[in-house]
Amino acid sequence: MPVLVMKFGGTSVANLDRIKRAAKRVGVEVAKGYDVIVIVSAMSGKTNELVGWVNETSPLYDAREYDAIVSSGENVTAGLMALTLQEMEIPARSWQGWQVPVKTTSAHSAARIEEIPDKNIREKFANGDRVAVVAGFQGVSPEGRITTLGRGGSDTTAVAFAAAFDAERCDIYTDVDGVYTTDPRITDKARKLDKIAFEEMLELASLGAKVLQTRSVELAMRYKVKLRVLSSFEEQSDTAGTLVCAEEEIMESNVVSGIAYSRDEAKMTLVSVADRPGIAAAIFGPLSDAGVNVDMIIQNIAEDGRTDMTFSCPTDQVKRAEKAMEDAKTAGEINYHDLIADTEVAKISAVGIGMRSQSGVAAKMFKTLSDEGVNIKVIATSEIKISVLVDRKYMELAVQALHDAFELDKA
């Protein structure tokens, strides 16, 4: 029988009533003739509670025990979902990561999936099981220890299973009914997209859209897994939600598909560094070693052999970046006059595969922001994205203005 993967997030399985509602959705797909692999998250709030207990018990915790503890939330949900399906007379069995097995690297709390053998679950399907309920977010290391994939890892689990089992589709059930042109909380003109290309979704996810975990979109794009984002709280149809798919499956795309934003950005400027070969490596090497996620980079025109170097990073990494630069200066690797951190900025991005074939997007974006009196501090571009840093107080105004300028409320 064809395989369908269905993933239910924490809000979709927050209590027994919601687990029953999710189980009914699974039953509908079983009735259509699918063998279903259900990936579940921990019940809403449970992972945070477990993480809190770990930190309270052992601030400098053993990462292996951390994974053993925080992965238990998914195990509970998987068992409850399997029991609920059995009560509905649907043959179901729960699976923990090590039972499948979901083989991962040994990087505890940030493991990556290396292989998902399909033999064990396919044997159960062949012997009459119709549903395999798999605990998301977890796997097993080569040493036989439980591992976890990082926050939001159940999305990645679901896509990896869809790829391993050549599933017809991977449905991600969450508390939103699809992917929107921007955050509906910022503008009521935000429109739900019927389809979005993998590349666009990847940019939106990495730029702050919280609908899907970035790694899950990367996997889906690599293995051509059709992803559908749906609400677990609304009536479903075959065209519900948003389909994330290959660009070729989208007949006609808007030039810009969405406006994304990231509130917690910082702009950091090294004032007066030597303009010499290797200076960029001398700056960004230590930042990388310190785990600072550098995004936008701009270098000023050199004057008298000195230049300014500006980059952006998340606000919670500013202290780490400052220390890395101070240490590099002390070690004599770089010499600069000052390091200025501006933590009151936000990143606004326009994303769309239509940019590849149509000019004028940057001009329209900059003109729109200018008309609203919004000053641009840094600009970065890629083939399908234009990002700018602006003062955070103008963030919502900028998003609303750009959403209107590119007429994203129109299909």
Report pLDDT digits (tens) over 106-154. 999 999 999 999 999 999 999 999 999 999 999 999 999 999 998 889 9
Which residues have a Cβ under 8 Å from the Cβ of 237 and sit 6 or more positions away? none
pLDDT in tens, 143-196: 999 999 988 899 999 999 999 999 999 999 988 888 889 988 899 999 989 899
**What pTM value is reported for the model?**
0.81
| Token representation of residue 305 | 């052999």
Which residues have a Cβ under 8 Å from the Cβ of 171 and sit 6 or more positions away? 4, 5, 6, 7, 228, 230, 241
16 pLDDT band, cuts 50/70/90, is very high
What is the mean predicted confidence (pLDDT) over 13-33?
A: 96
**pLDDT over 70 (residue 252):** no
> Is the pLDDT higher at 237 or at 164?
164
Average pLDDT score over the chain: 92
Sign of CA dihedral 41, 46, 52, 55: negative
Residue with tokens 């509130």: 263
Lowest-confidence pick of 161-175, 238-252, 396-410:
238-252
pLDDT in tens, 207-225: 656 678 888 999 999 999 9
Classify the phi-psi angles of 345: left when phi > 0, otherwise alpha if psi is within -120 to 50, otherwise beta: beta
**pLDDT over 80 (residue 234):** no
What is the mean predicted confidence (pLDDT) over 391-407?
A: 96
Which residues have a Cβ under 8 Å from the Cβ of 107 and sit 6 or more positions away? 147
22: nearest Cα among 73, 75, 99, 77: 77
254 pLDDT band, cuts 50/70/90, is confident
How far is residue 198 from each of residues 5, 249, 257, 304, measured CA to CA in Å? 18, 11, 12, 46
What is the mean predicted confidence (pLDDT) over 293-316?
A: 90
375 pLDDT band, cuts 50/70/90, is very high
